[in-house]
Amino acid sequence: MDKREGQPAGRKHIPQRTCVVCRETAAKRALVRVVRTADQGVQIDLTGKKNGRGAYLCTRPECWQRALSSPVLDKALRTTLSDDDRARLSEAMANLVQSGQR
């Protein structure tokens, strides 16, 4: 047993995050992070390391469509998405779905 957390040695902790639309929990790397930055507005953060307030979305097109058409992403990021932000996220959604990424 590992002395730190009572887990067997060799087991690595996998961070879990929740999709802000469907509320399903998954591994952090399986979800897409959307981040609100001070200087660049709302962006997709594929690295998961950008500074700013973040929210996670699963890769289902229905979740992305609902996030862009309802205020759920506005609330999660504590901002109001501009038309440019919505267009940028819509384009990113199309690219993610098309490439089958993540």
Domain range for 42: 16-99
What per-residue confidence (pLDDT) applies to 93? 85
Give me the CATH number covering residue 91. Answer: 3.30.1230.10
Would 48 be classed as within a structural domain?
Answer: yes
How many domains are contained in the chain? 1
Would 11 be classed as within a structural domain?
Answer: no
Would 9 be classed as within a structural domain?
Answer: no
Would 5 be classed as within a structural domain?
Answer: no
Question: What's the per-residue H, E or C state across the chain?
Answer: CCCCCCCCCCCCCCCEEEECCCCCEEEHHHCEEEEEECCCEEEEECCCCCCCEEEEECCCHHHHHHHHHCCHHHHHHCCCCCHHHHHHHHHHHHHHHHHCCC
31-86 pLDDT per residue, tens: 999 999 999 899 999 899 999 999 999 999 999 999 999 999 999 999 999 999 99
Compare 36 and 92 and report the one with higher pLDDT.
36
Would 38 be classed as within a structural domain?
Answer: yes
14-37 pLDDT per residue, tens: 999 999 999 999 999 999 999 999
